[in-house]
A and B are shown apart, each in its own frame.
Chain A
C-alpha cells in the first residue's frame, strides 16, 4: 500500500527552474511513467521523490507522510539506476544483501529474500559473481533484484533500459511488465523513449521544460493529445504537422494551406468555427494517411510528391512534399511506388488534430 502525491512541486538549481508546479497523484500499485526529452525535469522529479535532491518548494507525500525532510535511507523506496550502480567490490549476493544489512535484517531472512528474488529473475547461478563479470542484461537483472529484495513501498526507475542494446531492451521491457504484475508495487519510471512509456505505463506523464504537459493512459495520449508537443512526442513515426489557416467555405470550416485544403468534420468543425480566420496547426498521423480511392471524399484528399521511399517490410514510409509541408505516410507494403512519383492521398477525417498556432493547445 503506497500512494505518492506531489503537490506544487518546484525545483530550482541556482537560476534555472527545472521542475515547475508539478501536481500529481500516483495511485497504489500503479505503474507511472514520466516521459519527455532530456532536460524536461523528469529525472529531477524522480530524484526528489527519492530524496536525492532537495525540494525548492512544494510537498511530496508517500501515503500520508510528508517526506520532504526525510533522508533517502528512511523513505523505504528502492531505485534502479540507468548505469545500474552495482557496488563493484561486492558479489551479486552482497549487492542484494546490502540494503537489508543496513536495515539489520536477520541473516536467514536476507538469504531467503535473495534466493526468492534470484529465482524470479533467473539469476540463481550468478550470486557469487562480481558485477564486472556480468553482461549488460545480467547487471540489469541484479539491479532489479537489489530493488526487489527490499520489498519497498515504491520502486523508482531512472531510464533503466537505456544502456541495453535494442533487442535486449524489448525483452527486458516485457519482463518488467510481468514483474510489476507479479509484485504489484507502486512504481515510478522515467524514460525518454515514448515506446517504453506507452507499453509499460498504466498512466503516463509527459513533461517538457519542467511543466507537466499531459497525464493520462497511453491510448488517451495517443488519441487525444492535449497539445502539439504531446501529439508530436507520442507515436512513431511522429505526427505530421502543417501550418494552416481556418476559413469558412460554404458554411463549413476548412483548413487551408498552399497545396492543401482539408474539410473539417463534425465536432472538430464546431470547435474550429470559433477560430475562423486564424492560423492553426493541422496534425495527422502517418498511419492515418492512405492512397485515395473512390470512397474518399475529395475534401479529404490531397496531392503529394514522393521524395524518399522507405521500405520497412511490414509497411512503407513515404517521405513526401505536400504543398509547402513535408509529411510522412505509412502505407501498405505491397504498394508499388518510387521516388518522384506523384500520388493522390487521403486521410481519415475522424483522426484529424488541430492545434492553436500560438498556445499550441488542442482545439
Chain B
C-alpha cells in the first residue's frame, strides 16, 4: 500500500479506524457498565447534575444476583446451550453428508438439488413461522426444546451444506481415488479420508451454526411459552419487562451473560469463524 506521510496516515486511516472501533464496541461497554451499576445511579435523568454515566464507583452484583434468584436465567442458559448444541450436531451431520454428495458425486439432478439448497439457504425464518407454529402444534412438539431442535436445522442445514460444498470442492479428487484404490469403499474413503481433511470446514460450519442457533429469536418466541422452557433471548425479553417497566439492570446483566458463551466460542475460533463467514458468501 502506498500511504505517504505520518499525518496523512493518521487522518486517513488511524482516526477513522479508531472511530469505527469506538462506535462498534460502545454498546457492549454500555452493557457492562450498566450491569454493575446500582439502581440508584442507573435511573438518573439525562440532564441531572454531577451525573457520570461512563463509570461507576459503586459497582454491584445485585443485578446478576437478581437474574439468578428471581428469574430462571440459569435454566434459560442451559436450554439455549442444549438446543444450540443438539441442533448444530444434527445440522452438521446432515450438512456434511449432503455437501459431500453435492460437491463430489456425479448423479442425476445434482445441479438442480444444489440450486434448491441455495434457495432454502435464502429462505428467512420469518416467512414460515406462522404455518410452522401450526405444524409444531400438530406434531405435539409445542413448548418443548424439540420444537426448536428440529426446526433450527431448516436454516442451519442449507448453510452447513453450502459451506461444506465449498470446502469439499477444494479437496483434490485424487485423495479419495487413491483411497479407493488402496482398498477403501466409497463410504470408507469419505469417512477416513475426505471428512478428516475437511475438519477445518466442519469446525467453521459448526461454530457459525452454533452462534446462529444461539441468536435465533422468532421461532423460540413463537414455539415456547412456559418460562422454564425459554431460551436466553426470549427469556430476557419476556420475563424482565413487566408491561411498560424495564428492569434495565438485570436486562443488561442478562444480555451480558447471555452473550458470553457465544463470545467465548468465537474468541477460541476467530479464524475459523471468519473463514466460514467469507466462505459462506462465495457464490
Binding site for B on A (CB under 8 A): 50-52, 71-75, 77-79, 81-83, 85, 87-89, 98-99, 102-103, 146, 150, 156
Determine whether the beta carbon of A89 is less than 8 Å from that of B196: yes
Determine whether the beta carbon of B178 is less than 8 Å from that of A79: yes
Q: Which of A78, A85, A89 contacts B174 (CB 8 A)?
A: A85
- Note all chain A residues with C-beta closer than 8 A to B192: 98
Interface of chain B, main secondary structure: helix
- Chain A residue with minimal CB distance to B195? A89
CA distance A56 to B172 in the complex (A): 25
Determine whether the beta carbon of B183 is less than 8 Å from that of A85: no
- 8 A Cβ contacts from B206-256 to A: none
Mark B118-129 against chain A: 1 for CB-CB distance below 8 A, else 0: 000000000000
B-side interface residues, number (CB < 8 Å): 18
Determine whether the beta carbon of A89 is less than 8 Å from that of B197: yes
Determine whether the beta carbon of A87 is less than 8 Å from that of B193: yes
Known contacts A73-B185, A98-B192, A102-B188: A87-B172 contact under CB 8 Å: no
Report the minimal beta-carbon distance from B190 to chain A, rounded to whole angstroms. 13
- 8 A Cβ contacts from B170-194 to A: 172, 174-175, 177-185, 188, 192-193
Query: Chain B CB within 10 Å — which of A50, A75, A89, A156 has the most?
Result: A89
CA distance A359 to B192 in the complex (A): 52
Determine whether the beta carbon of B181 is less than 8 Å from that of A77: yes
- Note all chain B residues with C-beta closer than 8 A to A85: 172, 174-175, 177-178
CA distance A77 to B182 in the complex (A): 8
Binding site for A on B (CB under 8 A): 172, 174-175, 177-185, 188, 192-193, 196-197, 199
Known contacts A81-B174, A83-B174, A85-B172: A73-B181 contact under CB 8 Å: yes
Determine whether the beta carbon of B183 is less than 8 Å from that of A103: yes
Query: Chain A CB within 10 Å — which of B172, B183, B196, B199 has the most?
Result: B183
- Note all chain B residues with C-beta closer than 8 A to A79: 177-178, 181
Q: Which of A52, A82, A87, A146 contacts B180 (CB 8 A)?
A: A52
Known contacts A71-B185, A73-B185, A102-B184: A87-B179 contact under CB 8 Å: yes
Report the minimal beta-carbon distance from A238 to chain B, rounded to whole angstroms. 31
CA distance A75 to B175 in the complex (A): 18
Report the minimal beta-carbon distance from A9 to chain B, rounded to whole angstroms. 19
- Note all chain A residues with C-beta closer than 8 A to B185: 71, 73
- Chain B residue with minimal CB distance to A88? B197
